[in-house]
Homo-oligomer: A and B are copies of this chain.
Amino acid sequence: MNQFFRVRSLEEVFALIDEFPCLADEEVPVQDACLRTLAQTIKACEDIPGFRRSTMDGYAVAARATYGASDSNPAWLGLTGGVAMGEVPDFTLNYGQAARISTGGMLPEGADSVVMIEHADPVGEDALEVYKSVAPMQHVIERGEDFAADETILTPGTLIRPQEAGLAAALGVSRLKVFKRPRVGILSTGDEVVPIDQTPGMGEIRDINSYTLAGLVQEAGAEPVLYGIVKDDEQALFRAVEKGVKETDMLMISGGSSVGVRDFTIDTFARLENTEMKVHGISISPGKPTILAKSGRKPVWGLPGHVVSAMVVFKIVVMPFLKKIQGRSDILTANLKIPAVLSRNIVSAQGRRDFIRIRFRKKENTLFAEPVLGKSGLIRTMVHAHGLLEISENLEGIEKNTRVEIIPL
């Protein structure tokens, strides 16, 4: 596999996302659906709420009967029964009457608003003084005001947060169709890499990447599958990759940053059945030596060996593909970037997109983005970093005090 591959721009890499299909869907109880991706359309099959509801503790009234009421000139209403929670009021309110009601209670026929408890005083058993007028529909939620019957509420591809789970509950959808949680295989390579419970000899280091990448995969709502370490041996690597591709929905091989192993990785991908090389090199820093192949329907990645580079590539390059196979509809509208002010000049090479680790620092109400110093091989720099600053290939750097946008880490 010595075919020449041109280094791709990030945009060219993202253009490949559509070649990878979403996983199948499955049904889960709504309480297990948080952080999953919705795979169905959810419509309101009824008006929510299904009746005119009070949003305050107080008195249901016809608003018109309170017009002009004030502390010095209260409105005088007849006090009739109260509304029991969860029940349909068994009476109709006549004009000039008021009925006790609690938050969430159903307004009786004839009432269009609620006077707050602190703006009225009962006088004896049968009368009420109201000190403040209300407008029609004040302190009530109208039938169907939250959602009207047949309205489309959520569409496939939506990330389910607590509020979407609550919304499904409100609509009585107790089981949700969601996309399967991707299983993501993680493989470390390199003769110098040893398991973490082993003391590395001189020239060796512990397998940092497996654990860092596993954390990132979990954070992304997917399930990491650790395949451990493969030494720099072409046959062993091929067998491990073949198994990993078979057993998971996406495979990431990290390490292989030495020239020889990088070649192994490419040769291995090329030998896999039904597999196409897609990317060999991306014009970003860190992360240039990233490799992407498509094995059947599955993305297979060769990530840089430096843990910091691997993390950046995961966040910037791999995440959109992982979102795609998870069925997410917001694949490239990245998570919110955070506006900040650059605290010092940054120099960058033209013709290459740089991702600079930064740390937030707040000073006198301004949020500063402070570049984290230290070589990219140092895991310490990632522990200190809060985010990444992207510098376009057209810039030679960014000046101090420029307003920038930070990708959160």
Contact = CB atoms under 8 A, between A and B. Distances in A.
21 contacts: A31-B214, A31-B226, A35-B218, A46-B199, A50-B200, A50-B204, A102-B258, A103-B305, A105-B203, A105-B258, A141-B378, A147-B380, A162-B219, A163-B409, A166-B211, A166-B311, A169-B207, A169-B211, A170-B205, A336-B408, A338-B338
A53 interface: yes
Contacts of A146: 377-380
A165 B214 CA distance: 9
B375 A141 contact: yes
Q: Which 6 A-B pairs have the closest CB atoms?
A: A162-B215, A102-B258, A166-B212, A86-B192, A86-B191, A169-B211
Contact of A224 (B31, B117, B190, B203): B31
A285 to B, nearest CB: 12
A85 interface: yes
Interface of A: 30-31, 34-35, 46, 49-51, 53, 55, 57, 84-89, 102-106, 117, 141, 145-147, 160-174, 190-193, 196-216, 218-219, 224, 226, 232, 257-261, 305-307, 311, 336, 338-340, 360, 365, 367, 375-380, 382-383, 385-386, 403, 408-409
Given A104-B192, A105-B203, A196-B172, A162 B213 contact: yes
Chain copies in the assembly?
A: 2
B104 A211 contact: no
A7 to B, nearest CB: 13
Contacts of A31: 211, 214-215, 224, 226
Given A34-B219, A379-B163, A102 B214 contact: no
A170 B305 contact: no
Nearest to A89: B203
A319 B406 CA distance: 25
B117 A259 contact: yes
A88 B211 contact: no
Nearest to A58: B259
A165 B203 contact: no
A30 B86 CA distance: 49
